[in-house]
Structure 1
Amino acid sequence: MTDSPSKEYISMARLIAFFCSGFLALLSTGELQTQTQHDFTVCGSSVANECSVHMCAANIGISHPDIVVETNTLSSVPPPDITYTLSIPDRTISSGLLSALQLEAIIYACQQHEVILQNGQRAGFLIGDGAGVGKGRTVAGIILENFLKGRKRALFSVSNDLKYDAERDLKDINAPDIPVFALNKIKYGDTATSEGVLFATYSALIGESQAGGQHRTRLKQILDWCKPSFDGVIVFDECHKAKNATSTKMGKAVLDLQSKLPRARVVYASATGASEPKNMIYMSRLGIWGQGTPFKAFDDFLHAIEKRGVGAMEIVAMDMKVSGMYIARQLSFSGVSFRIEEITLDEQFKLVYNKAARLWAEALELFTRAADTLGLASRKSLWGQFWSSHQRFFKYLCIAGKVRRLVELAHTEMQHGKCIVIGLQSTGEARTREVLDENDGHLDRFVSAAESISDSAEVMLCVFSAKLEELKLRLLGRIAELGKELPLNTLDELIDRFGGPEKVSEMTGRKGRVVRRPDGSVRYETRAEQGMNIDHVNIREKERFMTGEKLIAIISEAASSGISLQADKRVQNRRRRVHMTLELPWSADRAIQQFGRTHRSNQVTAPEYIFLISELAGERRFASIVAKRLESLGALTHGDRRATESRDLSQYNFENKVGAYSPLSKGMIDVGIFCKEPRLGLNTEKDCTITKFLNRILGLEVYQQNSLFQYFTDNFEYLINKDKKEGKYDMGILDLAPGNDEIHEETQEKFLTPGNPQEGQVILYKISVDRGMNWKEACSKAEKLTGDYEGFYLSNKVHDTLTSDNKSCFLCLSSKCQITSHL
C-alpha cells in the first residue's frame, strides 16, 4: 500500500483532472503549485517510454502506407467527436491520394475553424505531425476543402525551398486547377490575381519597396489582396520559423497578419512548432490566452507553464488535443537502428587541442589585465565576443577530429550497398569568405574554420592601450603559429576526401566552396550552375542523390526543412540510408528536422542512424540521449516529456569542491568557471547554468575535462537516484499498474473551476496502489536464491496504511530489489 496518502492522492487526482478543460484555469489561479509534481510518487507506477499505435478517429479513407504512432500520454485522451462533413471528392479519398491519417487531420482542422473565440477571432489548428507523416498533403487537403467550399483564396507561408514541394502536393491530391502564385514574383502595386494560393516566404512578409507608393510593404499588399472580410485559409508551414515573435520583425508580421484578418482559417503546421513554450507566442488563434481565457496575455500563460516545469507542458498538449485544436502523430521507428560510434582521438590531435586550450587560457588572462588597465566599466560586450569565439572554436575542433573515421565508415557502408547522408549544423562559409576578402577574391588553399580565432582576438585586442602592445603581439604570434596546425574546414575536407563535388550532393546554404582541381591545385568556386539560380541548386542536388547519380549527401541546417531523402519506393536510389551525425544539433527543433529527412512515409527500408562522438567530455551523454529518445523529441511537441531526458540536465546545478586538486582548479579558472577572487552580485541561477558549464569545459585540456565531466556525471546520477528514493524526482505522467499491481479507487469528488460553473469540471480521485506480490509467490522465488545476501528483509519503516500500521517485507536479489509482500 502507499505511504500517507494525502499528497499522493491529491497529486494523482490533479494529474487525472488535467484531462478536463479545467486544467488551464487551475494553472492561472495558481492553485496548482510547483511542488506537487515533485512530491508525486505512486507505488506501482512506471514511466513507459514507448508509443502507442495511432487509431484514426475518422472512419474514412485508406490506411496510411506506414505504421504511425502517438505518444502514450496523448493516446490516453480522446479527441472530440467528429461533426464536420468533408467536401473532398470520393475519387480523391478512395484512390488513397489522401490517407485516412491525413483526412483525420483535415477534418479536425476544418471542424476547429467553425469555432469563434471569445475575442471574435476564428479558432486556429496546430498540426504537430512528425517529419515524414505527410503534413504537406494534409495542408494541401485543407486548401482543397476550402476551395471546394467557395473560399477561393489562400495564403501559404513557407520557406524558400518548400514552395516547390507545396505545388507538388497540390498536384498529387488532384488539385492542379488551383492557381498558384509566388509573392516575390508579383510587383508591389499588383493585386490583380483574383483567386488561388499565394505563396509567401517568411522573409517576404517583412519585405519593403524602396520606391514608395500605395503598396510599400508586402504585408500591406497581402492584406489588400485578402480584404478585411477574408475567411480563407492561412497556412504557416514549418511555423517554428516564426518563433521568438516579439523579438523579430518576422514574428511580429505573423502576429499582425492574424490580428488584422480575424475571420481567417489559420493552420500552424510543424513537427517542432511548440518545442518550447516561449515559441508558442505566434499561435494566438489557439485560444489558450487572451480574452475569455484564464490567461490575460501570453506572458501570463508562459509564466504559469515555466513555473511548473515540463510536466505542465505535457498536459497542455493533452488539453489541446481534447479541445480539438491539436493533433500530433509520428512514424513508427520500427526498423530504424541506432548506433553510437566512439572515436578515439590520436595523440597528435590531443597535442593540438591541449595547445589551443592553453592559448585560450593565456588570452583570457591578457584580456582581463587589459580590461583592468583600461578601467572598463562595462565588459559585457567584450566577454560576449570572447566566449562566443571560444565556444565556436572548440566546436569546430571537436567536429574536425571525427572526419577521418567518418570517411572510413562511409566507404565501408557503401561497399555493403548502402548510401550515406551526413548531417552538419554549420558550414564554416563565413571564414572562407573572410580569407577571400583578404586575398582580393583569390584562394589557393583549404581554410580552417577554427582559425578565425586570430581575427576574433585581433578585433577584440585592437582597443587596448600601447602599454599592452607587446603582450598583444606575442599572443597574436602564437595564434598564427597554432593556425598552421589546425584542421581544415570540415565540409570542404569531407567533399575532398570523397572525391569532390562530382561524388557528393551538397545541400547547404552556402554560396561557394573550396575544391581541389585534377592537377592538385586548390581554388574557390561558386555552387551555382550555369543557367541555374543558386536557390535551385539544393533541389537539383537532391534529385541527383535520389536518382543514384551520387551516393553521398551532406545536409546542413539550411536544408533540414522539408527535403525528403528517404529510400522512397518511387525513386531509383532505393539503397538503405545511413544517416551519420558529425555535429549534434543544439536544440530539439533542429534535431527533429534533420533526422526526419531520411525517415519518412513510403520508404523501402528504414534508415540507420550513426552518431559519431569523440572521447571529449559531454558528447557521449548527449548522443546516448538523442539515440534512445529519437522517437519523440520534446515534451510539448508530442505531449510526452519522457521521450527526451536531456532536459533533466537543466534541473541541477553543479557545485562541488574540487579546489583540492590544484591542476583542475587552475583549469576551471582558465575557462572562467572559477573566479580568482569572490565576485559580488553573482546570480547563481542566471550565471551558473549547466549549458555554460558544458560549453566552457571544452576549453580545458583533454584529461582535465574528461576527469571533471566524470565527476559531474557521478554527482548528477547520485542526485537523481537520491531524489527518486526520496520521492522528489519529477517522473512526469505515470502509467499506473503496468504489471501485477492493484489499484483501488477509494473516493472521488467533483469540483468546478472558478468562473466556469458549467464547464471545467475537475474530478479528485483518491486511490491506493498495492505493488506487492502474494506470499506464496515470494516464498517460491526465495527457495531458488543462492547469494549470501539474498533473501527476506524486514524494513524498519512503519507504513500507516488504510487498515493498520505495517512494515514492508522485501525479497532482495543480487541484481535488483523488489517489494514482495506487506506483513
Structure 2
Amino acid sequence: SPSITTTPSSASTLDEPEEEEEDELGHAETYAEYMPMKLKIGQRHPDPVVETSSLSSVNPPDVWYRLSISEEVIDRGCLSALQLEAITYAAQQHETFLPSGDRAAYLIGDGAGVGKGRTIAGVIYENYLLGRKRSLWFSVSNDLKYDAERDLRDIGAKNIQVHSLNKVRNFHQALKGVIFATYSSLIGESQSGGKYKTRFQQLLHWCGEDFDGVIVYDECHKAKNVCPIGSSKPTKTGLAVLELQNKLPKARVVYASATGASEPRNMAYMNRLGIWGHKTPFREFGNFIQAVERRGVGAMEIVAMDMKLRGMYIARQLSFTGVTFKIEEVPLTQQYINMYNKSVRLWVSARERFQQAANLMDAEQRMKKSMWGQFWSAHQRFFKYLCIASKVRRVVQLAREEVQNGKCVVIGLQSTGEARTLEALEEGGGELNDFVSTAKGVLQSLIEKHFPAPDRQKLYKVKKQKKKPRKHGGLSGTSSDESQSEDSDRESVKDSDESDAVEHAQMMKKELLEKLEDLAEDLPPNTLDELIDELGGPENVAEMTGRKGRVVSNDDGSITYESRSELDVPVEILNLTEKQRFMDGEKNIAIISEAASSGISLQADRRVKNQRRRVHMTLELPWSADRAIQQFGRTHRSNQVTAPEYVFLISELAGEQRFASIVAKRLESLGALTHGDRRATETRDLSRFNFDNKYGRNALEIVMKSIVKLDSPLVSPPAHFKGDFFKGKIQSGLIGVGLINMEDRSGTMSLDKDYNNMGKFLNRILGMEVQQQNALFQYFSDTLAAVILEAKKSGRYDMGILDLGNGDEKVKKVDCRKFLTPGYTTSGHVELYTVSVERGMSWEEATHAWADQSGPDDGFYASLQNEFLETNLQIIERSVQSCSGNACCFRRRGNCKKASVGLQCEVGLRCRTYYVLCGSVLSVWNELEEVLTPVSGTNVKVQIVRLRTEDGQRIVGESTVKLRASERDEGVNSRLSRCARRGRYSPVIEQLHPQSLCHAPST
C-alpha cells in the first residue's frame, strides 16, 4: 500500500470559530455577450452588446405578443434585434395588470450606445399603429426634443408629430402625437390663461381619464428622491411623477435610464413594477427598502434578476472590449505641498477667528449654525479646487502627448468657477490683471459675507430700532430722573463693550483678509481658464460648459475677460456648435462640464470626420454615479470606430480619494441593481477607493476613538510617521478641522457628534497638512483592511457573485424541491437545490495516479498544519498575560461547534454541501426571512452563487445557511407548502419547461 508522509507543525492551534471557505469559490465573470434569447426577428446591433453574467443566467419569459411594426421597417434594420426585443417585452408587459388594478410598467435599463431613444420611439410607434395616438415623453432637457424627432424619423414614424410642452399654447391643436416635456415643466405653472392653471392639469386634461397611451420617463433618475434619506424632503418632481401615474392607472408606463436605480431608494417612483404594494411580499415601498438594505448588495442582485425573470426589466450595454481604464496618480511637488500647508494654517486660523468673533458678538444659535454651514461648505470647495489644481500640469502634458500620438482628448470637469470670476470682475471694475484664483475667491467671499463682524452703522440702526419709548407712571420727577440716569449709565457701559467687541471683530476680519492676500500669490488660477490657455487657447479647445464668458491671455501678455458668444452663433446652441467643430476635426481637444454632459455624443463615430480614438480624462470625479455615467457615456457609444480610453487623475492627497470613494460606492450599487451585477463596475479599478460602506464606517469609528483614547487601536500607526501618532500633530490637526472638540478650561477632548460620518471625515481631512492627512489616511486604510479581514474570517464579508463548478470542481445535484409561485404576469418558480461540490479526487483515482509514478519523491503527503495557527511565543505571551490566581493556563479543544448543534462538519473534507434557493426568490422573501433570521440573524448578507453541474445545467441563486435537516424541511418546505395551501403557492412535482433562474441555457 502507498506510504503517507506527514509534515509536522510546531505551531499550536487556536479554538476560533470555523471560517467559511468562501475563498474556495471563484469570482464569476462579469459580462456575457448578449443576443436576444426568445425573439428571432431583426438584424444584429451594429456593435457588440453585453449583459452582466448574473442577468445572462436568467431566462426572460416566453414571447407571445406579436408586433404591429411592419416587416419592411424591421428588414431595413431601422430597429436592431435587441431594440425590437425590448419593444416586444414592453408591449407584452403592458398587457398585464397589477393586483391593485393599475397597468404594469416596463423598465429599460440599457446603457449609453444601445439606442434607448430608438427603443422608446419604437414603443410609441407600436402603440400609434394600434390606435393609441397620444403619448407623453419626459426627459431632462428641451434640446432632446430634436433627438426624439430624429429617432421617430429614423424608424419610419415621421408622421408622428412631437410637440414641446412649453411651446403648446392651445392643447386642442395638439390632438395627437407626442408631447415632449422636461421634469421641471411637470411642476411648472402655465403662463397662458385658461381653466387649467398648471402644466400638470393641462396634461391630465389632454390625456383624459381613460388614457391608455404611452408615458415615457426618459433619464428617469431625474425623478429620484421620492423616498429621501434622513431629514430631507421628497422632491416636487418625484411626487409629480408618482401623482401622474396614480391619476392615469391605465397608462402604459415605460421607465428608461441606465442609472435609474443607482440606489434602491430611487426606485420609489417605479410603483408600477409591482414589486411592492397590494398582494406582494412588501406592503409598502419602505418594507422593500428595509429588506433589501438589510441583506446587502446580494439582495439587490436578486431584485434585478427577479425583474428580468418576470419580464419587466432589460439591461444591456455596449461591450467594453477595447475600452481601457486606468487611474493616474499625480505626485505632488514640494512647492505645491508648501502652498497647501500654508492654506491649511490659514484655514485653521480662520476657524479660530470665526469662533472668537461669534463669541464676542454673542451670536444667536441660529446665526452660528448658518455661519458654520457656510464655513465648512467653503472649506470643502476651497480644498477641492486645490486638489484639481495639482493635476493641471499633468493633464496638459498627457493631452499634448495623446494629440501628438494621433488621438483626441476629452477632459471632464464638474464646475467652472464662473461665479468667482464674475465677482473678481466686478471688484476690478470690469478689468483683470491676472487669471482669477477660484480658491482665493471662495475664502474671500466667505470672510466678506459671513464673518461675524457687523458694520458699526448697521449695528447702531438695529439697536435704535430695538429701543422702545418708556411710559412713566405715578413716580415723582426726582426718582424718575435718578432711574433714567442709572439706566443711561448701564446702557453707555454696554454700548462701550459692544463697540469694543465690534472693533475687535472687525480687526480680526481685516487681519484674515490681509493674510489671504499674502497667500493669494501662491494660490492656483481657475482650472478651466488655465487648461484652455495651456492647450492653445479657445481656437484649439472646444469648450462645452454652461458658463457665458472666460478669461484669456492675449498675444501682448495682457489678461482680459471675454464673452463666449460669437457673432454668427446664438448662445443657446454654442455648445452644439463647439461639439460639431470637435467632431469635424477642427479642434482635437474638448472640455466638457456637467452642463454639457447630458445628450451630447462625442464618440469616434463612423459618420463624422474626426475618427481619432478618444481619450477621456477626468480631473474631478463627479459627486454622484448618475453624473459619472452620464459623462463617461459621452465618449463610449454605438457606431464608433474605436472604443475610448478612460483616465482618472487622482492626486496623492489622501482626502481627495473622497471623490473617488463616492463614485465607486454609487457605481458599485449601480452595477448591482441597474445591471444586476455589482462587479460590472469593479473591473474599472475604482472599487479599491470604496470606503463608504459598513466596513469603512466601523474602521472610522475605531480610528477616531483610538486617537482620543476612548478605544484601543486595531493596528499599529504608520511606521514612517515621526513622533507619537496618538498625540500632538494628528490630534491638533483633527481639532483644526472640527472633528475633535477641546474644552478651553479642562483641555479634555471629545469627538464631534458626526465623527463617524465617512463623507465628513474624508472631506475634512483635506484641511490637514499633507503629511498629517496622508499618515491619518494610511492608519484608516490599515484599520479598514483589518476590519475586512475579520469580516472574512467570521463569514460575513460580502463577496459578490461566486462561482462553483469551474476548473477541477465537480458539482453534483443531490436534490431539488420545486414550488410554483403564480404571480400577476407569469408562473414563476422557487426551487431549493441541494448540491455536492467535490474538490480533488477520490482515493481510487489517487492510488491509480500514484501507481503510474515511479520517482523517489512520489508519494502521499499530509500536512499537519491547522488553519488557525499560533506560535509557541504567542502561546507564552498569551498565557503570561491571562494567567492569574483564578485563571487556568490550559485550553480544552473539543468537537466542532457545528457538530454540537447537529450540523454536519465538512471542514477539510473533499466534498462540501451547498443549499441554493433560486427562481422568483422575491415572491417568497418573507417566508425566507422567517426561516433564516432565527438561524443567521437579521443582518447576515445574501450570498449569490452560480453553479454548473456535471450534466451542464446552470443554477444561479441564493446560497442559504446550512440548517439541520429537520429545520430545513420544516423551515423552507413546510412554510412554502403552508403558503400554497393559502392559495398563494402550489407545490409542483414535475415540470418540463419551468420559467426559472435555474434553467438558463448551458452554452
Q: TM-score if structure 1 supplies the norm length?
A: 0.86
| 2:383 corresponding residue in structure 1 | 394
Q: Which residue number in structure 1 is paired with residue 693 of structure 2?
A: 650
Cα distance change of structure 1 residues 796 and 319 upon mapping to structure 2, 3 Å threshold: closer
Give matches, 1:501-540, under 5 Å.
501-530=538-567, 532-540=569-577
| 1:94 equivalent in structure 2 | 75
Deviation at 1:741, TM superposition (A): 2.2
Separation (CA, whole Å) in 1 of partners of 2:202 and 2:635: 38
> 1:538-687 residue pairs with structure 2 within 5 A?
538-619=575-656, 633-643=670-680, 644=682, 645=687, 649-652=692-695, 653=697, 654=700, 655-656=702-703, 657-658=706-707, 660-677=726-743, 687=755
**What residue is the counterpart of 2:370 in the other structure?**
381
2:310 and 2:828 in contact (8 A); partners too: no
Quote the residue 2:166 is aligned against.
Answer: 184
Residue 382 of structure 2 aligns to which amino acid in structure 1? F
Aligned to 1:155, the other structure's residue is in SS state strand
Deviations 1:243-265 (A, max 9, x none): 11362222222222222222211
- 1:162-241 equivalences under 5 Å are 162-187=144-169, 189-209=170-190, 212-241=193-222
Equivalent residue number for residue 758 of structure 2 = 690
The structure-2 alpha-carbon separation of the partners of 1:631 and 1:731, relative to structure 1 and needing over 3 Å to count, comes to closer
Give yes or no for contact 1:361–1:670 (8 Å, CA) kept in 2: yes
Does structure 2 retain, via aligned residues, the 8 Å contact 1:642–1:732? yes
2:343 corresponds to 1:361: no
* Alpha-carbon distance between aligned partners in 1 of 2:364 and 2:332, rounded to the nearest angstrom: 41
Q: What is the RMSD computed on CA atoms of the aligned residues? A: 3.3
- Structure 1 residues 29-80: Cα deviation after superposition (integer angstroms, max 9, x where no partner): xxxxxxxxx9986574222252111231221111111111111221121111
- Aligned sequence identity (%): 58
Residue matched to 1:272: 259
Q: In the aligned structure 1, how far is the partner of 2:597 from the partner of 2:448?
A: 34
Change (3 A) 1:807 1:672: same
Q: Name the stretch that deviates more: 552-561 or 246-255.
A: 246-255
Partner of 2:55: 74
Tell me the amino acid that sits aligned with residue 255 of structure 1: L
Offset of residue 754 of structure 1? 13
- Residue 705 (structure 1) shift: 1.1
Secondary structure of 2:321's match?
coil
Asked whether the equivalents of residues 50 and 319 of structure 2 are also in contact (C-alpha less than 8 Å), the reply is: yes
Distance (Å, rounded) in 1 between the aligned partners of 2:280 and 2:19: 29
The one-letter code matched in structure 2 to 1:769 is: V
For residue 419 of structure 1, report the CA deviation from its aligned partner. Answer: 0.5
Q: 1:351 aligns with which of 338, 355, 366?
A: 338
1:573 to partner: Cα distance: 0.6
Residues 41 and 487 of structure 1, relative CA distance in 2, 3 Å threshold: same
1:416/1:807 CA distance change after superposition, 3 Å: closer
The one-letter code sitting in structure 2 at the alignment partner of 1:707 is A
Give the drift of 1:632: 9.3
Residue equivalent to 1:817: none
Distance 1:522 1:257, change over 3 A: farther
Letter in 1 for 2:377: S
Find the structure with the greater CA-based Rg: 2
Residue 410 of structure 1 deviates from its aligned partner by 0.8
- Once residues 632 and 597 of structure 1 are traced to their aligned partners in structure 2, the CA distance between those partners, rounded to angstroms, is 21
CA offsets 1:297-322 (integer angstroms, 9 cap, x no match): 32332222223222221111111111
- Aligned runs of 1:729-808 on 2, under 5 Å? 729-749=797-817, 762-772=830-840, 792-795=863-866, 808=908
Matching of residue 448 in structure 1 with residue 437 in structure 2: yes
Which residue pairs with 2:397 in the alignment?
A: 408
Residue 304 of structure 2: which of 317, 328, 334 is its match? 317
Q: Which secondary structure state, in structure 2, belongs to the residue aligned with residue 393 of structure 1?
A: helix
Partner of 1:28: none
Q: Deviations 1:703-749 (Å, cap 9, x if unpaired)?
A: 11111111211221222222223312111332223222233444455
The equivalences for 1:17-36 within 5 A come to none
Aligned counterpart, 2:4: none
Cα gap change, 1:177 to 1:212, in 2 (>3 Å): closer
Residue range with higher mean Cα deviation, 523-532 or 311-320: 523-532
Aligned to 2:86: 105
In structure 1, the residue matched to 2:954 is none
| Matches of 1:297 and 1:177, distance apart in 2 | 42
Partner of 1:114: 95
Corresponding residue of 1:727? 795
Which letter does structure 2 place at the counterpart of 1:808? G
Q: Give CA-to-partner distance per residue, 1:106-154, whole Å, 9 cap, x none.
A: 1111111111222222211111111111111111111111111111111
Return the alpha-carbon distance in structure 1 between the equivalents of residues 905 and 370 of structure 2: 64
Distance 1:687 1:624 in 2: 18
Find the counterpart in structure 2 of residue 427 from structure 1. Answer: 416
- Where 1:468 maps in the other structure, the secondary structure is helix
Q: CA deviation at 1:627?
A: 9.5
Give distance in 2, aligned partners of 1:694 and 1:563. Answer: 32
SS in 2 for 1:601: coil
Structure 2 letter corresponding to 1:650: N
Give the deviation of 1:619 after TM superposition.
4.8
2:969: which partner in 1?
Answer: none
- Higher mean Cα deviation, 240-249 or 392-401? 240-249
Query: Could you tell me whether the CA contact under 8 Å between 1:796 and 1:807 is conserved in 2?
Result: no
Alpha-carbon contact 1:795-1:809 (below 8 Å) kept? no
> Does residue 83 of structure 1 match 2:81?
no
Counterpart AA for 1:455: S
* Alpha-carbon offset, residue 354 of structure 1: 0.7
Residue of structure 2 equivalent to 1:819: none
Task: Report the AA paired with residue 419 of structure 2.
Answer: A
Three-state SS of the structure 2 residue aligned to 1:157 is strand
Contact map agreement 1:178 1:196 (CA 8 A) in 2? yes
Deviation for aligned residue 1:375: 5.9
Pair 1:784–1:560, CA change in 2 (3 A)? farther
Tell whether the 8 Å contact from 1:545 to 1:552 is kept in structure 2 after alignment. yes
Q: Residues 709, 576 of structure 1: CA spacing in aligned structure 2 closer, same or farther, 3 A cutoff? A: same
1:458 CA drift (Å):
2.6
Residues 543 and 590, structure 2, Cα contact 8 Å, conserved in 1: yes
Is contact 1:581-1:611 (8 Å) kept? yes
User: 1:342–1:614: 8 Å Cα contact kept in structure 2?
Assistant: yes
Deviations 1:746-773 (A, max 9, x none): 44555688999x9775433344434445
Contact conserved, 2:658 with 2:762, CA < 8 A, in 1? no
Q: Displacement of 1:411 after TM fit?
A: 0.9
Q: 1:123·1:265 contact (CA, 8 Å) conserved in 2? A: yes
User: Contact 2:664–2:690 (CA<8 Å) still a contact in 1?
Assistant: no
For residues 179-198 of structure 1, the C-alpha deviation after alignment (integer angstroms, 9 at most, x for no partner) is 122122222x5441111121
The one-letter code of the counterpart of 1:364 is R
SS at match of 2:254: strand
**Residue aligning to 2:272:** 285
Alignment gaps of 5+ in structure 1: 1-37, 811-823
- What's the counterpart of residue 131 of structure 2? 150
For 1:706 and 1:630, the matched residues in 2 are separated by 25
Q: TM-score normalised to the size of structure 2? A: 0.71
Once the two structures are TM-superposed, the CA of residue 356 in structure 1 deviates from its matched residue by 0.7
Is the 8 Å Cα contact of residues 504 and 551 (structure 1) preserved in structure 2?
Answer: yes
Deviation at 1:547, TM superposition (A): 1.1
Structure 2 stretches lacking a partner, 5+ long = 1-17, 227-232, 455-500, 708-724, 869-894, 911-1003
Are residues 211 and 463 of structure 1, via their aligned partners in 2, closer, same or farther at CA, if it must alter by over 3 Å?
farther
The one-character-per-residue Cα deviations of 1:523-555 (angstroms, maximum 9, x if unpaired) are 333333335443322222111111111111111
Amino acid at match of 1:244: N
Contact map agreement 2:357 2:505 (CA 8 A) in 1? yes
- Number of matched residues? 765
Bigger shift: residues 339-348 or 268-277: 339-348
Q: Distance in 1 between matches of 2:137 and 2:904?
A: 66
